[in-house]
Structure 1
């Protein structure tokens, strides 16, 4: 069985003052505090979430 590809995502800007749906997306990716890092499976759904809040995160 092939190993799943993963992405590391880091929260680099505060979601304070952003749209509620963008804050919910940040939480959905497992990000809490600034500079927190979450390792996620590389799926189309996760890519879409990252794309939605690209101005708040950095992909490592």
Structure 2
């Protein structure tokens, strides 16, 4: 089974750029505190890295 990561939205999107908002939306996040589990691929790692000031990333079980 592939490794997975848990991405949690920790801050709001009020003073962010449109590109950052689209990036968070494409990760599947909508509300503060919401978490999603995604496969640990370079695509998802890169998207989370672009908005690293808004999200937390941790290993999922």
Q: TM-score, normalised by structure 1?
A: 0.92
Written as runs of structure 1 = structure 2, the 5 A alignment for 1:1-60 is 3-60=1-58
Q: Distance in 2 between matches of 1:23 and 1:48?
A: 15
Structure 1 residue runs of 4+, over 6 Å off?
none
What's the offset of the Cα at 1:17?
1.6
Structure 2: segments with no counterpart, 5+ residues = none
Task: Give me the whole-angstrom Cα distance separating, in 2, the residues matched to 1:22 and 1:36.
Answer: 17
Using the size of structure 2 for normalisation, the TM-score is 0.91
> Rg bigger for which structure?
1
Q: CA deviation at 1:16?
A: 1.4
RMSD: 0.7
Aligned length: 58
